[in-house]
Structure formats: structure tokens, C-alpha cells
């Protein structure tokens, strides 16, 4: 089942890393988007032989910010960025998707591209997967200076727990912490937030005012928050928020965040209705769980006596084998609506 698409806004410009072998960056994001009916224009921020987790390193080239701008200029000169939409036109770029970005200068060039495309199409969304690092061992993959830039320009942002904490300064130990973090991101101008993975402390038990049961044992949570405002002053706003739990699968896998951001882009592109965010979260979780589970089962078949490189390769996402789960997300989990955070107004005042 393809995502419902506005034909004039069905193009995605994906600026991410590329690997010859494996599934991270554009190799992980483009295939799901195309399956779900999107045309994808691809710019590779790096071109590597393999991802950087392999034991004997990698080879390849890195695209600098000036070359990114030259590529976009070439598109513009040939009318391929489009400021119109008819049968002879390529159509607007309706979405920009970015993942790993290794330098502040390249990210600033991305911001220039975002501004250009939004000038051509006011409906263009910037979906940002702010790849900063992870919580285990809690280290940065990129310069810390990128944090401030990421906070300022995204329409949709898909950080993991560690990245959310770095972007907001909130340590997420409870659902209310997640709500506070999302409120901070909303307050600085990001309307839609997906925290892709939260692991709550084992002894965490939510209070009665959350209207939710305790987190399942050995689970991982996704948390989505959408802010809607009826006025332009930022005060008459409501936050619609959902949480969803899935079983925690053992193992370390690369490319999950890239796939997750692409799927979230697709399932939130044109969905409407009171519960569309919860529905999108359920589709996303069903597909992601199926892909990761299939990958984990495949990795188990590789002997522990195999070379380190073969063991890493066995954990590459089984993306092609999961195409049916991308097109038809299995209904495995239910999203739970979270009661609004009472302190939203106070948070907004603090941020101002």
C-alpha cells in the first residue's frame, strides 16, 4: 500500500551518505521511499565502500559544502527544482531529507539549499534526522557545534533518545521528560517530533495522571509529538502526542535511524484526521520491527568463528527481503495517546 501522495509535492531530495555495500544513509532511505510512491532525487554527502563500523576501515570520498551547492545550482539551471507543477514539469520538491552530516560547513550549505527550496515551494518540509551519536556509550559522531544548527531549521525532526537529550538538555527518564523535550523542540519552531527510541529505567512506573500502564519489560518506546497552533503568537497551541512500545531486540544494527526517518516522512506526508499521527506511528513501528527482527534472525545464522567483517555484514539491514513489510506494514503494535502536558505554557514562557 503506497502512501497517499500529493502529486505536486511527491519529490524528495535526500542528502545523505552512500555506501557501495550495505544499507545506511541513502542506501537505506531511498528504497522504502520509492516503494511507497515517492520520486527521490539523491545527493550523496559521502561515497564510501562500506559503513564505518567495519573492522578494516573504509575507502571513499566526502562531498564538501561548495560542491553540494554546485549540484543544486545545476538542477536549478535546468528547471529541475521547479517552481510550477503541470504534466510537463518534474513537480515541486516537496520534502528534503537529511541524515548523517559530518561538518558544520556542510550543514550550513544544507540550510542554504533548504531555504532555496522553501522559497520555490512554501509546502516543502525539511525532515531532519539529526545524527549526533547514541546513548551507548553516549558519544558524539559529529562536532558538537551541529546541535545549535539542527535546532533552528527543521520542520520534522527524528532524533533518538541521546540526540533528543543533547538538543534539549532534558534527560529522558519518564514520559513527562519526553513531553518536556518535545515542547522545547516545538518552542524553537519544529512542529513535528519523533523520538525514535527511548529506553526507560527498569524501575520506572508512570504516575496515575499519565493514564498509561507501566512500560513493558525489555521494551523500547517511540514517542511522537505534533504541535498545532490557531494563532501566530505561539500561545494558542495544542500538542498531540503518542507513545508506542515494541519488544527490545538484542544486537547492534546500523541504518535503522535512516530507514525510520524515511518511513516517517512517507507516512506523515499527507495523512489527515484526528488520529493520523498514531496511525503513522503504528505503521512505522510494524515495519521497523519486522525489518530488525528479520535482520537479527539472519545474523544468528552466522558462526561466531566467522571473521569480524562477516559478522558485521550479517547485521546489515535485510531491507530488500522486507519489501512487503514496507508496502504493507504489519499491524503488530498499538499507539497510546498521552495526556497533554500541563506545564506547556510555563515551558513556552521560559524558552522565550
**Enzyme catalytic residues:** 258
CA distance 111 to 109: 5
**For residue 125, what is its C-alpha cell?**
518540509
Helix (H) or strand (E) holding 192: strand 192-198
**Measured at the alpha carbon of residue 36, what is the angle toward residues 18 and 194, in degrees to the nearest 5?**
70
Q: What are phi and psi of 262, to 5 degrees?
A: -65, -45
H-helix or E-strand containing 304? none
End-to-end CA separation in angstroms for the chain: 43
Integer Rg of the chain from CA = 20
Bridge-based pairing state of the strands 11-19 and 156-157: unpaired
| 244 SS3 class | strand
Amino acid at each position: 500500500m503506497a502512501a497517499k501522495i500529493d502529486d505536486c509535492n511527491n519529490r524528495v531530495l535526500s542528502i545523505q551518505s552512500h555506501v557501495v555495500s550495505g544499507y545506511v544513509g541513502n542506501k537505506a532511505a531511498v528504497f522504502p521511499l520509492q516503494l511507497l510512491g515517492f520520486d527521490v532525487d539523491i545527493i550523496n554527502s559521502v561515497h564510501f565502500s562500506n559503513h564505518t563500523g567495519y573492522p578494516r576501515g573504509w575507502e571513499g570520498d566526502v562531498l564538501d559544502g561548495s560542491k553540494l551547492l554546485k549540484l543544486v545550482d545545476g538542477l536549478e539551471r535546468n528547471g529541475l527544482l521547479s517552481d510550477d507543477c503541470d504534466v510537463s514539469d518534474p513537480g515541486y520538491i516537496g520534502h528534503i531529507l537529511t541524515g548523517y552530516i559530518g561538518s558544520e560547513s556542510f550543514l550550513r550549505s544544507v540550510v542554504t539549499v533548504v531555504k532555496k527550496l522553501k522559497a520555490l515551494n512554501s509546502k516543502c518540509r525539511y525532515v531532519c534526522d539529526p545524527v549526533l551519536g547514541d546513548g551507548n556509550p553516549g558519544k558524539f559522531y559529529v562536532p558538537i557545534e551541529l546541535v545549535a544548527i539542527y535546532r533552528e531549521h527543521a520542520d520534522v525532526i527524528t532524533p533518538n533518545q541521546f540526540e533528543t537529550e543533547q538538543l534539549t538538555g532534558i534527560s529522558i527518564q519518564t514520559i513527562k521528560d519526553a513531553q518536556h523535550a518535545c515542547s522545547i523542540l516545538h518552542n524553537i519552531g519544529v512542529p513535528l517530533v519523533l523520538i525514535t527510541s527511548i529506553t526507560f529505567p527498569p524501575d520506572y512506573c508512570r504516575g496515575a495522571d499519565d493514564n498509561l500502564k507501566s512500560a513493558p519489560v525489555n521494551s523500547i518506546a517511540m514517542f511522537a509529538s505534533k504541535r498545532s497552533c490557531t494563532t501566530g503568537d505561539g500561545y494558542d497551541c495544542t500538542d498531540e502526542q503518542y507513545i508506542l512500545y515494541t519488544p527490545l531486540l538484542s544486537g547492534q544494527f546500523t541504518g535503522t535511524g535512516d530507514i525510520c526517518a524515511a518511513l516517517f516522512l512517507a507516512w506523515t506526508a499527507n495523512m489527515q484526521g484526528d488520529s493520523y499521527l498514531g496511525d503513522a506511528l503504528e505503521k512505522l513501528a510494524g515495519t521497523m520491527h519486522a525489518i530488525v527482527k528479520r535482520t537479527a534472525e539472519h545474523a544468528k545464522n552466522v558462526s561466531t568463528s566467522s571473521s569480524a567483517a562477516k559478522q558485521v555484514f550479517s547485521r546489515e539491514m535485510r531491507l530488500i527481503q522486507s519489501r512487503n513489510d514496507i508496502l504493507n506494514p504489519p499491524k503488530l503494535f498499538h499507539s497510546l495517546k498521552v495526556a497533554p502536558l500541563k506545564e506547556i505554557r510555563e515551558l513556552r514562557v521560559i524558552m522565550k
